[in-house]
Amino acid sequence: MRFYQVSLDDPSFPSLYPKGEIVTNLLYWLIPERLIPRDADKIPTYPLVRLSDIPSNEISFPLLNEKFQVNDKLRNVLYGRRLLVDEITAHVSLDVIHEHVCHGVIHYQPAITRNPKLTCRRCGNDDPFLFGDISCARCKKMCAYCRACLMMGRVAECSPLLTWNEKEKAKEKRHTLGWKGQLSPAQSKASQALVNHVTTRYKTEKNFLIWAVCGAGKTEMLFAAIQLALTKGGPVLVATPRTDVVLELLPRMTEAFPHTVVRAFHGGVPKEERFEQGELVIATTHQLLRFYRHFPLVIIDEVDAFPYSYDKKLQYAVKNARAKESLTVYVTATPPDNLKRKAASGKIAYVKVLRRYHGHDLPVPKQTWIGNWKKKLLKGNLPNPVIEWLRGHIANQKQVFLFVPQISLMEKIEEAVRIACETVNVETVHAADPSRREKVIRFREGETNVLVTTTILERGVTVKGVQVGILGAEDRIFTESALVQISGRVGRSPDRPSGDVVFFHYGKTKAMGQAIRHIEMMNKDR
């Protein structure tokens, strides 16, 4: 969109900006082109510009007018966020937004910069392939747009990003912890370490790593620190890579903090609820892009679940979502190498939790060679070791996760399992499966015996007494951290602390060996 640069003392649009003294270095008013009716008698002769065309040292805004009565609806949407005009005009009209700009409550930023290189300010994308270029109907010019964050509403070169400039006075509110469980010694050690970090006032952006094995009870370790941060008056963000994990965390957090406004944001949240305010926010990483300098405490669950290439995007999103003075906590069972290195060299504070909360060892995976299983599968058969393993567990009334490397093989495998083990309920899930949630629920309730899945269920999903097999563990998709995570699905509940993890493979890989050594090391290292 374009703006008229109207000089400060022009009397022709009295309704479009406040009169009186403005104590600021403001050079001109920016009036959205759309606010001036086409057939107005006085179409301004002022220059019509895009925000991105104004040199950044010339962009200035009026000082915040403390007496100005802000629009509550607008505040609710924009407070703590950085949004596109289109995301806001669904709630309030453009002239209300403009009024707030005139009183210094809302600031604009250009959404795309070309200096030093073409970059999307919202998502940090600077890959030239992921930019498009069109002759834009809004700015009547060639206008670049970001293709990387398109699914969150299009960011174009001429679109302004809006931020809320008003600081909230810290509210005194009591946040009670509804969770009445007992932490294990290892858990409480980590919990205490984290609380200590939250207590010390953070003057800059600080980081903290919690390295905890699968099934260590990570969420419970966080409760004390979250409660403390909430009481200090700041909103808390829990970010995770997957929608499944958001959905799993939401009820647990709501139960743990009964007097706190807990909100979950993920791609599936309906439009009306997408911009609500929460004190404790659980969000997928994409949704982080909508927040701006808001959270003094950010907890990133399962950092390693992001593919390596994603790391930069996550860092960018977190950098923007957290407050200037903030603590970022990384929680993971398998820290990526760069975090491990930082922890070892003392650049980042960390705490290790190497015991599961019930104190038992992690089950160590077994490896079984099954030959060319894909060839066998084409004829509709499963390798014998797999059949025997499945039959054994089904006979013992145990449920089984069967991880497979490719979606395209799932149907064949499902069929083969059904033939091999009669009277068995088999289902398959993968990322694009529309009924994925229901299938996981059915499995959790014990209606399904065998769930054939891709790596989407490798983390965050807890099912009591489940056994795990990986068919084709030699595939590239099963990296060390994926294998460790998958193995961590087993033996999580205290009454069934042991279980079976088998890598069915056609040739051992380095990752398999590393995963087993990783688990053994965790068991030894107390």
Partner 1 sequence: MSKWSDTLSETSRCLYCDRSFMEEVNWTWALGLPEEKVLCPDCEGKLVNINEVGCEMCGRQVEKADHDFVDASVKLPATFVKEPVTLCRDCAKWKEAEKGEDRSVQQRSLYVYNDFLQEVMAQYKYRGDATLATLFSKKLKRLTRPLGKIDVVTVVPLSEERLWERGFNQAELLAGEFACCDVLQRRGETAKQSKRDRRERIAALQGAFRLSVEGEKWHWAGKRVLIIDDIYTTGATLRSASTVLYEAGAEKVFAVTVARATGALKNNG
- The footprint of partner 1 (CB under 8 A) covers 34, 86, 129-130, 132-138, 143, 145, 147, 150-151, 154, 156
Residue 189 burial by Cβ neighbours in a 10 Å radius (0-12, 13-18, 19+)? middle
Tell me which H or E stretch contains 470: strand 466-471
CB of 242 to partner 1, least distance (A): 20
For residue 359, give every residue at least 6 positions away whose Cβ sits within 8 Å of its Cβ, in sequence order, or none: 184
Which residue number, 120 or 156, has a Cβ lying nearer to partner 1? 156
d(CA 253, CA 245): 12
Compute CA 22 distance to the chain's CA centroid, rounded to the nearest angstrom: 41
Distance CA 236, CA 279 (A): 6
Closer to partner 1 by Cβ: residue 33 or 415: 33
Our CB check for partner 1 shows the closer of 115 and 135 to be: 135
Q: In the bound complex, what is the minimum distance in angstroms from residue 456's beta carbon to partner 1?
A: 18
- In angstroms and rounded to an integer, the radius of gyration of the C-alpha atoms of the chain is 27
In total, the chain counts a number of residues equal to 526
Q: Which two three-digit tokens encode residue 168?
A: 């909230």
Label each residue of 324-340 as H, E or C: EEEEEEEEECCCCHHHH
- Tell me the β-bridge partners of 48: 4
Q: Minimum distance between the CB of residue 269 and partner 1, rounded to whole angstroms? A: 17
Nearer to partner 1, 289 or 394 (CB): 289
CA nearest to 358, candidates 525, 170, 495, 175:
495
Nearest approach in angstroms of CB 143 to partner 1 is 8
Residue showing tokens 């700041």: 234
Q: Report the nearest approach of partner 1 to the CB of residue 321 (Å).
A: 23
Of 150 and 378, the one with the shorter C-beta distance to partner 1 is 150
Q: Cβ closer to partner 1: 97 or 225?
A: 97
Least CB distance to partner 1 at residue 51 (A): 15
The nearest distance, CB 152 to partner 1, in angstroms, is 9
* 90 vs 344 by CB, closer to partner 1: 90
CB of 155 to partner 1, least distance (A): 10
Name the residue nearer to partner 1 (CB basis): 156 or 490: 156
- Output 35 or 354, the one with its CB closest to partner 1: 35
Q: Answer whether 38's CB lies under 8 Å from 17's CB.
A: no
Query: Which uninterrupted H or E stretch holds 453?
Result: strand 450-453
CB 448 within 8 A of CB 426: yes
User: Can you list the alpha helix ranges (DSSP code H) found in 279-380?
Assistant: 285-288, 311-321, 337-344, 373-378
Distance CA 135, CA 386 (A): 58
Question: Min. distance of Cβ 263 from partner 1 in angstroms?
Answer: 25
